[in-house]
Amino acid sequence: MSYSACQINSSIELGCVGSAGGVKTIYLLNGAITGTTTTANGAISGITGTGDLYEFQVQKQTSSLTETFNISLENGTTYFEQITNAIFNKIDAAKRDQLRLLSRNRQIVLFVEDNNSQVYYLGNDFSGGFVSAGTSETGTAFGDRNGYNISISTFSQDPMLLLDGSLSTVVSGITINS
């Protein structure tokens, strides 16, 4: 049996040093994606939809996005899990109410912008994502964090998708609320 469709077809170059870790901001969709277009290299060049994107700002050097490749040779399956960990400082009623609503949602679609200005589109497969964990913490010492820590899990058939530009240039029909 031939596996020619699964063979690699290009190299990965080392490239220059100059990327930064971490998440800059998270946008959560209250609405629907109705269509996407992609470039030849698989980046998303256009997203159409309805509704609103809400910006969830995070403190520098606190939040992350991790993708895990899950492959089972025994079962012949492959899927990818993305976990967005977001930290929100200072416990208050407004944040509590938004996080409570978010934690009850089972079809989360989100966009995560990293500190290299790359934007990832998550929740496009398997009926969206969900809040898989979270804590509210008061801290112990005066210098400890007082706030929330949530994890949003999404799953996809392919590695996470990158936008070919900023959110405002790729998305149409959806209002971006900062």
Assigned fold of 21-177: Pnp Oxidase; Chain A (2.30.110)
Q: Smallest Cα–Cα separation from 87: which of 145, 19, 27?
A: 145
Q: Taking 60 as the threshold, does the pLDDT of residue 2 lie above it?
A: no
Q: Smallest Cα–Cα separation from 68: which of 6, 151, 142?
A: 151
Q: Taking 90 as the threshold, does the pLDDT of residue 3 lie above it?
A: no
- CA–CA dist 50, 105 (Å, integer): 18
pLDDT at 12: 84
Average pLDDT score, the chain: 94
pLDDT at 4: 66
Token pair belonging to 141: 């010492």
Q: pTM for the full model?
A: 0.92
pLDDT digits (tens, 9 = 90+) for 100-118: 999 999 999 999 999 999 9
- CA–CA dist 89, 63 (Å, integer): 11
- CA–CA dist 107, 66 (Å, integer): 19
Q: How sure is the predictor about 21, in pLDDT bands with cuts at 50, 70 and 90?
A: very high
Q: Smallest Cα–Cα separation from 112: which of 169, 68, 58, 74?
A: 58
pLDDT at 17: 84
pLDDT at 56: 97
Half-sphere exposure of 15 (CA within 13 A, CB side): 6
Q: Taking 60 as the threshold, does the pLDDT of residue 88 lie above it?
A: yes
Q: Smallest Cα–Cα separation from 64: which of 115, 100, 137, 136?
A: 115
Interacting residues of 92 by C-beta distance below 8 A, sequence separation 6+: none
Q: Taking 90 as the threshold, does the pLDDT of residue 7 lie above it?
A: no
pLDDT at 62: 96
